[in-house]
């Protein structure tokens, strides 16, 4: 069971309660809620906010691929997964991503949650532009997507 969405923050904020409603089931004995939030420091600079950019279709596709491959790679078949990522400008402390997972047992839930966030970092086309106290802003460098050049 999977829910994925890229949320334009002009429309609504990300909400843990929506994630809780989605994964809640008596089939599962362990739930983990991961949220990423905007922090006030990065690389010794005072951050006041972050603008998130996204290729929405490719992001959703990557979320679905990551979810589907956990059947084989992690051998976790019974699960509920809720993934939402924000798009647009976020102030300090606001939520940029929610990954909520529910599994039968805690071992699976911890592994699944960690796997999903690490794969999103590597594979989902999302970009951050940091805004600083001195009114400057900068796109963060990020990691290239691996592709064939020939």
First to last CA, the chain: 38
Q: Which listed residue (81, 108, 123, 131) binds another protein by CB under 8 A?
A: 123
Q: Which listed residue (120, 134, 135, 136) binds another protein by CB under 8 A?
A: 120
Q: What token pair was written down for 109?
A: 């839930």
126 touching another protein, by CB under 8 A: yes
The rounded distance, in Å, linking the Cα atoms of 28 and 46 is: 41
29 touching another protein, by CB under 8 A: no
Closest Cα partner for 91 from 21, 44, 149, 38? 38
Pick between residue 133 and residue 145 the one whose CB is nearest to another protein. Answer: 145
Closest Cα partner for 19 from 74, 87, 95? 95
Pick between residue 112 and residue 120 the one whose CB is nearest to another protein. Answer: 120
Closest Cα partner for 115 from 62, 57, 66, 60? 66
The rounded distance, in Å, linking the Cα atoms of 134 and 47 is: 9
131 touching another protein, by CB under 8 A: no
Which residues inside 58-97 make contact with another protein, applying CB under 8 A?
Answer: 58-59, 61, 85, 96-97
Stretch that binds another protein, among 7-15, 38-46, 56-64, 75-83 (CB under 8 A): 56-64
Binding residues for another protein (CB under 8 A): 36, 52-55, 57-59, 61, 85, 96-97, 117, 120-128, 139-145, 147-150
């Amino acid at each position: 069971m999977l829910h994925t969405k890229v949320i334009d923050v002009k429309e609504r904020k990300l909400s843990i309660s929506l994630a809780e409603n989605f994964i809640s089931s008596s089939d599962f004995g362990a739930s983990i809620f991961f949220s990423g939030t905007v922090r006030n420091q990065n690389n010794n600079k005072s951050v006041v906010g972050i603008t998130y950019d996204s290729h929405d279709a490719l992001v959703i596709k990557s979320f679905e691929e990551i979810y589907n491959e956990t059947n084989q790679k992690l051998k976790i078949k019974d699960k509920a997964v809720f993934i939402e990522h924000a798009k647009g400008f976020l102030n300090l402390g606001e939520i940029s991503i929610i990954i909520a997972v529910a599994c039968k047992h805690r071992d699976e839930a911890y592994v699944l949650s960690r796997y999903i966030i690490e794969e999103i970092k590597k594979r989902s086309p999302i970009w951050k532009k940091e805004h600083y106290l001195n009114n400057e802003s900068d796109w963060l460098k990020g990691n290239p997507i691996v592709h064939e050049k020939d």
